[in-house]
Structure 1
Amino acid sequence: MFEFDQYLGFLAFLTILTIGFWLMIFLLTFVIPYWVGGAIMEMIKEKREAKKAAQNS
């Protein structure tokens, strides 16, 4: 059915596909929401500081 080099190529393909799948799951569930949440928090802090600076002057 398969020769040995075809079998190794198929295993390499499945390994790369699996690694890519879990990497996408990790990025979509943890990294991107953390990044977006941090950017929103930073934007809110900057607006608060600008409002305080405007009130003090």
Structure 2
Amino acid sequence: MFDFDQYLGFLAFLTILTIGFWLMIFLLTFVIPYWIGGALIERLKEIKEEKKAKRDDAN
């Protein structure tokens, strides 16, 4: 059915496919939400500081 070279190629293909699948799951569930959440928190801090600076300048 399979020669040994074809068998090794098939195993390499399955390994790469599986690694890619789990990498995508990891990125979509942990890394990207963490990145977006951190960016939002930093932006909210900047907006808060801008409002505080405007309030201090007005006084």
TM-score (norm: length of structure 1) = 0.99
The alignment status of 1:8 with 2:8, answered yes or no, reads: yes
- 2:33 is aligned to 33
Q: Work out the CA distance in 2 between the residues paired with 1:44 and 1:4.
A: 58
- Consecutive unaligned residues in structure 2, runs of 5 or more: none
- Consecutive unaligned residues in structure 1, runs of 5 or more: none
Cα drift, residue 4 of structure 1: 0.2
- 1:48 is aligned to 48
Alignment coverage as a number of residue pairs: 57
Task: Indicate the percent of aligned positions where both proteins have the same amino acid.
Answer: 77
